[in-house]
Amino acid sequence: MVSTAGIGSGTVMLDDLAERVPFYSAFFVDKERDQVKPFANMAPSMIMNCDGIKTGTGCFEINVTEVLTSFWPSIDGNLPIDEPVCGF
């Protein structure tokens, strides 16, 4: 998408309710280097054969991908799973 000023905002996706679907990135400030670093990207993917009017959703889900390895305070340094093995 390009504004009237000619500046692009990147990919724009609309859901089946004609609302803009969000693209996100997560950042943190590295105190030692005084830098802002991305550590995860969150991109939408459309759910096929979904009716947003019936479900009340935009028929998309957010997929999280790591950009920075060994960021998470877990045993292996990877992104935690969506549902813990022990449940909620």
CA distance 26 to 84: 22
Residue 76 located in a structural domain: no
Res. 4 pLDDT band, cuts 50 70 90: low
Q: How many domains does the chain have?
A: 1
17-59 pLDDT, tens digit per residue, is: 777 888 888 888 877 778 888 888 888 888 888 887 787 777 8
Residues with Cβ within 8 Å of 3's Cβ and at least 6 positions away in sequence, in order, are: 9
CA distance 63 to 82: 11
pLDDT at 9: 66
Range of the domain at 55: 13-66
Residue 60 located in a structural domain: yes
Global pTM reads 0.54
Residue 8 located in a structural domain: no
CA angle 39, 43, 45 (to 5 degrees): 150
Residue 3 located in a structural domain: no
